[in-house]
Amino acid sequence: MALHVHGVLYSADSDAGIDKDFADALAQRSGCTLQVSVLPRARIWQLIESGALDFSLSGITTEERDKFAAFAWYFSNKYYLLVHKSANVQKLADFENQPALKLGVIRSFRYGSSANRMVDRLVEAGRVSYASGLEPLYQVLALGRIQAMVIEPFDIGDVQTSSIKDNTRILEFNDPPVPHGLIMSKKSITPAEQQKWGAVVQSLRDDGTVLRIFQKYFPPALARDMVVF
């Protein structure tokens, strides 16, 4: 099982977060011992595809990922564009329409449909800078080397307590919430085992365990919106 550093999903500094709590609950409910490591997200997907890694968490599907990974959903969320105020962007189209503006993204990350389309167009235009995690993106955003980055609800707390809070605004993509879940390697986890792990995940949803985990990190209404779908 591999986690990746990402806001309140997981913090390496505190060794805590939603995915750490979910991994603990998954191990306890299944009765299995899960060896947990922390890796960059791009590396996680490579290992899942090769079968060298059995599981990861908080993953979303794509047509390509469906070929090598199975998923068991336990929450869903929307995506947002964090924009530096100096870019003078009031709506999403404003950002795309200014060729000098650059977007920062985490390598291998995908989002909702309209966010993906925007990112892909900007990649083709040479307007995307990549990083291995959020912290480097916050730094280059503050320095003006990029003017926006894609974030999730897990990241908003970090933004609100950072030095970039007063110099940025948050715009919401017009996508429905995107399901996230347990990622299972199809090379190392058989279809029958995938079903069993899916049932374990569903049991954690059904008895309120997932909701209680999210309520540790989010206001009750937002936590419920993310896990009841």
Query: Domain range for residue 12?
Result: 2-77+177-227
179-199 mean pLDDT: 98
96 and 59 in one domain? no
Instruction: Give the end of a domain, one of 152, 172, 192.
Output: 172
Q: How far apart are CA 20 and CA 125, in angstroms?
A: 37
82-97 mean pLDDT: 95
86 and 73 in one domain? no
92 and 142 in one domain? yes
pLDDT of 19 > 90? The answer is yes
Q: Which of 202, 214, 204, 185 is nearest to 66 (CA)?
A: 185
CATH code: domain of residue 134: 3.40.190.10
Q: How many domains does the chain have?
A: 2
Q: Which of 139, 111, 152 is nearest to 17 (CA)?
A: 152
165 and 100 in one domain? yes
73 and 28 in one domain? yes
pLDDT tens digits for range 120-136: 999 999 999 999 888 89
Instruction: Give the end of a domain, one of 172, 192, 213.
Output: 172
pLDDT of 23 > 90? The answer is yes
Residue 32: band (very low, low, confident or very high) from pLDDT cuts 50, 70, 90: very high
168 and 186 in one domain? no
